[in-house]
Amino acid sequence: MIMLKELVGNTIDVNEEGFMTDFTQWNTQIGEALAAENDISMTPKHWEVITYIQTEYKNNVPLSIRKIGKSGVVDIKEFYTLFPNAPLKTATKIAGIPKPVSCI
């Protein structure tokens, strides 16, 4: 089910878990606001990870925690420090892309 959500003056489409369903609606302001909802204040390092994730997504590369740990951008430990608890879920949510299907 897709719902409409108002965020920093924009309307975005999200699913029941709060993941954006249309990446074209995403911008950095929205990313910032989604991060705030998850108690994260974005730093340049956060943005580096988000940019990496978005690039991989655009290239149709399936994402996993292991993949991000080997990206050269962050190691897994740092990824957890930046996005605590469930980092891949939180980071993909902020990045405005679907929840990764590393789950089959």
Partner 1 sequence: MKHKKNILILGAGTAGTIMANQLVKEVDPHSWHITIADATDTHYYQPGFLFLPFGIYDEEDVKKPIRSFLPDAVKFIQEKASEIKSEEQQVLFESGKTIHYDVLIIATGSTIDSSEIEGMNGPEWRKSIFDFYTFEGAKALREKLATWEGGKLVVHITEMPIKCPVAPLEFSFLADDYFGKKGMRDKVDITYVTPLSGAFTKPRATQKLEYLLKEKNINIVSDFAIESVDNENKSIKDYSGKEVPFDLLVTVPTNKGSKVIEQSGLGDELNFVPTDKGTLQSKVSPNIFVLGDATNIPTSKAGSVTHFQAEILFENVLRFIRKEELLPEFDGHANCFIETGKGKALLIDFNYDHEPVEGTFPIAGIGPLRLLKESRMNHWGKLAFRWVYWNMLLKARPIPFVKARMSLAGKNF
* Among positions 5, 20, 84, 98, the unique one binding partner 1 when judged by CB under 8 A: 84
* Among positions 64, 91, 94, 98, the unique one binding partner 1 when judged by CB under 8 A: 64
Q: Could you confirm whether 42 is annotated as catalytic?
A: no
By CB under 8 A, residue 1 contacts partner 1: no
In angstroms, what is the minimal distance from the CB of 28 to partner 1?
A: 26
Q: How many residues bind partner 1 (CB under 8 A)?
A: 19
- d(Cα 35, Cα 37) in Å, to the nearest integer? 5
- d(Cα 17, Cα 49) in Å, to the nearest integer? 21
Q: What share of the chain is helix, strand, coil (3-state, %, to 5)?
A: 45, 10, 40
Pair of tokens at residue 86: 């469930």
By CB under 8 A, residue 86 contacts partner 1: yes
Active site residues: 103
